Structure 1
Amino acid sequence: MGPRPRAGRIAAGLIAVGLASALAACSPGAATPPSLPPSSSVSPTAAGPVSAVVDQFRDGYASGTIVLQLDDTASAPMTVVRAELVDARFVDGTAWSGSEELSPGLAISLPAQTTAPRCDHADDGAPAVRVTLADGSLHTVAASDPHVVLPRIHADACFAERVSAVVTLRFSDALSPGSAPGTAVLTLNQGAAQPSTTSRSTAGPAQATLVSVANTTLLDEDPSAPWPREVSLSAGGPPLRVTVRPARCDPHAVAEDKVGTLIPLTVRLGSATGTVKVAASSTLRAEIYAFVARSCGWTPAP
């Protein structure tokens, strides 16, 4: 995994992601980027003033945020005002906008929210990153993906989309008390199907089955109340109870949590089996943290 940016760079990047809908494609005073062609018409170059790597930090798993890591291959510093993933497997728009100084020998990591997958596209893309500099110049360079981030995100998103065409899975915002001390219940709701907007397949939806629930860094199964297994799923089906207990009582587990409230569900869809990761809402996430604190006897609860 490439180097993490300095604290100031991380904060600037995260603010840019949260305000992406409100930001322009360049920072104040920077040149306005030219109108961009579709990704499919762009031919990346092997070399340019920057090199690019696509990666993902653990805190981006739940949101689907990746990082576009750029390195200055020129001899002089430059200012980046936009960086966009170019990959036929995803709808255009996985981009970061802002203003970041890029200097030789110092890589920067720019967070970008992945867009919807193109599920009819084979998972064999060759990614590139389109970089706009403050001087208005545009450079599209081939990108490496050393940790195979994009194929994983594409495959997971397309499987989740196929499942959602049968049933939408979501946890309620509130925990319920468990039957034993130190336990609580997550309620998994089966909502209405969401027809695919990115796949042209005309095949009817397959039968969906919840094969199992997996533990996380924060939550584990209570042996006295086993998790649901081999349960048929359907739109409007009854809520499923998932009784949990803390997986560990290390305060750092909550303080440094990245994926502890991202619950992996193994789902069988027809003849295919995959994992659908259902993220807790911000309200439920706070309840889970408080539940772990109470169960572990921390005072005060975080």
Structure 2
Amino acid sequence: MPGIEAEAVQLRTDEAVGGQVQVRVTDTGTEPFTVTSVAIDSPGFAPLPDRAVSAAFEPGRTIDLPASYGEAVCDRAAEPAAARLTVVRPDGRAEALRVPLAAEVLGRIHGERCAVRAVLAVADVTVGSLAADGDAVTGTLTLTRADGDDRPVTVTRLQGNVLYDAVATTDLPRTLEAGESTLEVLLEFTMARCDPHALAETKQPYLFLLGLQVGDDDEVPADLPLDQAQRDELAALVDRACA
């Protein structure tokens, strides 16, 4: 659109928050304007309401505006995408604009979300029985096969993060074989670091990479599913192990 360009980018803070990107808007015209709302408009994501913002642009200025994206719609591509912007001109006139959005990052996010969803359609993944065990937290990862799909599903790897080590106490890979309804893998979490810098600066302490593979398909990286009570159990481990 003449005078305005937009691109979707994902910063580390967006990854930590989850469910959002930045709409990087540039005033490529000759006049100032103010943006008062922003939203992602992509066929590959369920629409969400506009987010109120207040950003004053001058010619040549670029500002990142946070915008949430909805649930992935996996039978549609993420592009072509647009940014929905409410723009107020210098004379006070407000316009609702749909600005073409360079959205390679949305395509990547869409692909990741839909790949995980396809795996979970074959076997659901849950974490249970998370409990304190001295300077560790132990639990069980369970794969439960869905009806109608007998393909094998393999847990290929489990990866910790800056703050926590996470391991399967039974060696990986482990496979939910054809004809089996459930697979259980024992888990153990311990502290990787207790220094103040790590404790203060870790942005995603409960994000653990879980590798999953259906049949001979490529591995799909997924997030280990932890509810709030399980996250609280890991938080209590910090108090025990790092005291």
TM-score bucket (shorter structure): 0.7 to 0.9
How far apart, CA to CA, are the structure 2 residues paired with 1:186 and 1:58? 29
Shift of 1:248: 1.8
Among 133, 137, 155, the alignment partner of 2:95 is 137
Instruction: Specify the alignment match of 2:127 in structure 1.
Output: 171
Supply the AA of the counterpart residue of 1:283: A
Q: Which runs of 5+ in 1 are unaligned?
A: 1-44, 196-202, 298-302
Supply the AA of the counterpart residue of 2:165: D
How far apart, CA to CA, are the structure 2 residues paired with 1:78 and 1:160? 41
Among 203, 215, 237, the alignment partner of 2:160 is 215
Instruction: Specify the alignment match of 2:197 in structure 1.
Output: 252
CA contact (8 A) 1:209 1:267 kept: yes
The reply to whether residue 117 of structure 1 matches residue 63 of structure 2 is no
Q: How does 1:88-237 map to 2 (within 5 A)?
A: 88-91=43-46, 93-94=47-48, 96-104=50-58, 106-121=61-76, 125-134=79-88, 135-145=93-103, 148-172=104-128, 175-178=130-133, 181-190=134-143, 193=146, 204=149, 206-221=151-166, 225-226=169-170, 228-232=172-176, 237=182
SS across alignment from 1:262: coil
Instruction: Specify the alignment match of 1:86 in structure 2.
Output: 41
Instruction: Specify the alignment match of 1:70 in structure 2.
Output: 25
SS across alignment from 1:275: strand
For normalisation by structure 1, the TM-score amounts to 0.65
Percent identity, aligned pairs only, is: 25
How far apart, CA to CA, are the structure 2 residues paired with 1:107 and 1:282? 37
Among 236, 239, 243, the alignment partner of 1:290 is 236
How far apart, CA to CA, are the structure 2 residues paired with 1:222 and 1:163? 21
SS across alignment from 1:241: strand
Shift of 1:74: 4.1
Counterparts in 2 of 1:51 and 1:122: CA distance versus 1, 3 Å: closer
How far apart, CA to CA, are the structure 2 residues paired with 1:188 and 1:245? 16
Shift of 1:265: 0.9
How far apart, CA to CA, are the structure 2 residues paired with 1:144 and 1:55? 9
Shift of 1:95: 5.4
How far apart, CA to CA, are the structure 1 residues paired with 2:171 and 2:67? 35
Shift of 1:257: 2.3
For normalisation by structure 2, the TM-score amounts to 0.78
**Segment of structure 1 superposing worse, 254-263 or 103-112:** 103-112
How far apart, CA to CA, are the structure 2 residues paired with 1:247 and 1:118? 37
Number of residue-to-residue matches in the alignment:
235
CA contact (8 A) 1:190 1:239 kept: yes
Supply the AA of the counterpart residue of 2:113: A
SS across alignment from 2:224: strand
